[in-house]
């Protein structure tokens, strides 16, 4: 099968980026060595749709070391890095993806990837699994199973399972502790600010930052905003999360109340229209809006462009919308600011997330035909093994219970 990428001549830069992250992903290096020895994926085609930048590319190498034939696409039209895509093709993998694809191109690239007739699918957000079910039902019986990377993708899988529509088992990678506790919180917390800061080149200290959604991602984004010296407002729809935000030291209010106060708005909800037509007229001149949740619907950019008096490119990845006398700015087209205007989470974070992906993919092969539930959490021993591998890579040892302590902890007739 042929690849469809922008320019194979970009491969040398892509190889360098992959080598850099590999040097900082010790867990995946260890798993690569194990896969090279045991070859768990011989004869298996893996279709993978994850943000196509260097860390994902290294995951592809690791799976290929295990004998898999890799068919790769991106999971967002703006997060593919063309040099990385070229490096994967240069290394002999099939890639269909390029940066800034139109909706039709993005869909065609997923289609070409799906058409490899995969044995395993690795998805981020659900686009690949959705297309397989809706348009390629004849390929479903050949699929051993798959893994889903992110929160919103899991919500979609659970909805499919509830309807009886999901036809092969999916492992819910985001539910693993070693995924969401670190990737969603510390990964998003760091990379969102990297994306905003490199795009705007403005200060955060002294500004008012509004974070919509206080889930795992929101907690990280708000924590780091506070560290930069911003005053932080959180908006929520869940009363418990709202109290959590309050007790973590943030102001909590509705988006209507926050709209006139915020300098920078960041959505991390997975919901739509979180910042929308009701809020735009209330905002300050120069307000900056961006999204780090799911699709480009959390900030309602479509509606903003319909009601704007003027639209102007302000700087790379910043579009200004004039409403009367004031300008509102949207970063990265309202798509994930950390990936569309940055390199996403750091290597050491994706090392843990992708270690879970790689070990979960091997679990699917080892348990082929034996998994009866259509969605399952990452097995506990994989989660624990990733935590231990991480500590070992850092040279950190922890205590373990003595036999006497174990008896004490398990008993109830104790003094």
Interacting residues toward ligand NAD by CB under 6 A:
150-152, 180, 184, 188, 212-218, 235-238, 241, 268-271, 274, 292-294, 336, 338
For residue 189, the surrounding DSSP H or E stretch is helix 188-200
CB of residue 223 to ligand NAD, shortest distance in Å: 13
HSE, side-chain direction, 13 A CA sphere, residue 381: 1
Q: Which is nearer to ligand SAH, 129 or 258 (CB)?
A: 129
Q: Which is nearer to ligand SAH, 63 or 259 (CB)?
A: 63
Question: 212 φ, ψ to 5°?
Answer: -95, 115
Count of beta carbons in the 10 Å neighbourhood of residue 239: 9
Contact partner, 215, from ligand SAH, ligand NAD, none, Cβ < 5-8 Å per class: ligand NAD
Contact partner, 26, from ligand SAH, ligand NAD, none, Cβ < 5-8 Å per class: none
Strand pairing report for 310-315 and 318-323? antiparallel
Q: Which is nearer to ligand NAD, 262 or 293 (CB)?
A: 293
CB of residue 385 to ligand NAD, shortest distance in Å: 22
Q: Of 3, 56, 357, 360, which lies in the binding site for ligand SAH, with binding defined by CB under 6 A?
A: 56
Strands of the sheet containing 318-323, edge to edge, are 251-252, 231-235, 208-212, 264-267, 288-291, 326-331, 318-323, 310-315
Taking CB under 6 A as the binding criterion, the range among 91-99, 134-142, 340-348, 384-392 that sits at the site for ligand SAH is 340-348
Q: Identify residues 344-403 at the interface with ligand SAH (CB under 6 A).
A: 344-345, 350, 353
CB of residue 409 to ligand NAD, shortest distance in Å: 30
Site size toward ligand SAH, by CB under 6 A: 22
126 Ramachandran zone, left/alpha/beta (phi>0; psi -120 to 50):
left
On whether the CB atoms of residues 331 and 195 are closer than 8 A, the answer is yes
Which DSSP string do the residues of 311-359 spell out, in sequence order? EEEEETTEEEEEETTEEEEEEGGGSBHHHHSS--S-HHHHHHHHHHHHH
Q: Residue 277 is encoded by which pair of tokens?
A: 């037509």
Strands of the sheet containing 69-73, edge to edge, are 94-95, 69-73, 45-49, 120-123, 145-148, 170-172, 375-377
Tracing tokens 């270690």 back to the chain, one arrives at 355
Contact partner, 62, from ligand NAD, ligand SAH, none, Cβ < 5-8 Å per class: none
Q: Is 206 exposed, middle or buried (0-12, 13-18, 19+ CB in 10 A)?
A: exposed
Tell me if 183 contacts ligand SAH by CB under 6 A. Answer: yes
Q: Identify residues 131-150 at the interface with ligand SAH (CB under 6 A).
A: 149-150
Tell me if 219 contacts ligand SAH by CB under 6 A. Answer: no
Q: Which is nearer to ligand SAH, 66 or 187 (CB)?
A: 187
CB of residue 271 to ligand NAD, shortest distance in Å: 3
Interacting residues toward ligand SAH by CB under 6 A: 50-51, 53, 55-56, 75-76, 124-125, 149-150, 183, 187, 294-295, 336, 339, 343-345, 350, 353
């Amino acid at each position: 099968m042929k690849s469809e990428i922008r320019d194979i001549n970009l491969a040398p830069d892509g190889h360098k980026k992959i080598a850099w992250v590999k040097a900082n992903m010790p867990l995946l290096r260890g798993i690569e060595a194990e896969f090279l020895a045991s070859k768990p994926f011989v004869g298996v085609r893996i279709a993978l749709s994850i943000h196509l930048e260097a860390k994902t590319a290294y995951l592809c190498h690791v799976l290929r070391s295990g004998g898999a034939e890799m068919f790769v696409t991106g999971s967002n039209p703006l997060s593919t890095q063309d040099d990385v895509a070229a490096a994967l093709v240069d290394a002999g993998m099939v890639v269909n993806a390029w940066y800034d694809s139109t909706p039709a191109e993005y869909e065609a690239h997923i289609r070409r990837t799906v058409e490899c007739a995969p044995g395993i699918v690795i998805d981020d957000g659900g686009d690949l699994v959705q297309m397989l079910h809706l348009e390629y039902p004849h390929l479903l019986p050949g699929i051993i199973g798959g893994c889903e990377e992110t929160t919103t993708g899991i919500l979609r899988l659970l909805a499919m399972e509830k309807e009886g529509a999901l036809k092969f088992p999916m492992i819910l990678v985001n539910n693993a502790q070693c995924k969401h506790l670190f990737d969603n919180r510390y990964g998003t917390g760091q990379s969102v600010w990297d994306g905003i800061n490199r795009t705007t080149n403005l200060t955060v200290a002294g500004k008012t930052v509004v974070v919509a959604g206080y889930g795992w991602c929101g907690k990280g984004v708000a924590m780091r905003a506070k560290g930069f010296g911003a005053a932080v407002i959180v908006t929520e729809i869940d009363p418990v999360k709202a109290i959590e935000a309050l007790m973590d030291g943030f102001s909590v209010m509705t988006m209507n109340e926050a709209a006139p106060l915020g300098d920078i708005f960041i959505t991390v909800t997975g919901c739509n229209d979180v910042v929308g037509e009701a809020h735009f007229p209330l905002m300050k001149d120069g307000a900056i809006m961006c999204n780090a949740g799911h699709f480009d619907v959390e900030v309602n950019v479509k509606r903003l462009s319909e009601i704007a008096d003027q639209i102007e490119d302000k700087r790379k990845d910043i579009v200004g919308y004039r409403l009367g006398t004031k300008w509102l700015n949207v970063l990265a087209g309202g798509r994930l600011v950390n990936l569309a205007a940055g390199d996403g989470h750091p290597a050491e974070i994706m090392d843990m997330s992708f270690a879970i992906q790689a070990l979960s993919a091997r679990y699917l092969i080892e348990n082929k035909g034996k998994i009866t539930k259509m969605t399952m959490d990452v097995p506990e021993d994989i989660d624990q093994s990733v935590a231990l591998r991480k500590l070992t890579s850092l040279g950190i040892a922890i205590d373990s219970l003595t036999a006497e302590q174990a008896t004490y902890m398990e008993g109830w007739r104790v003094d």
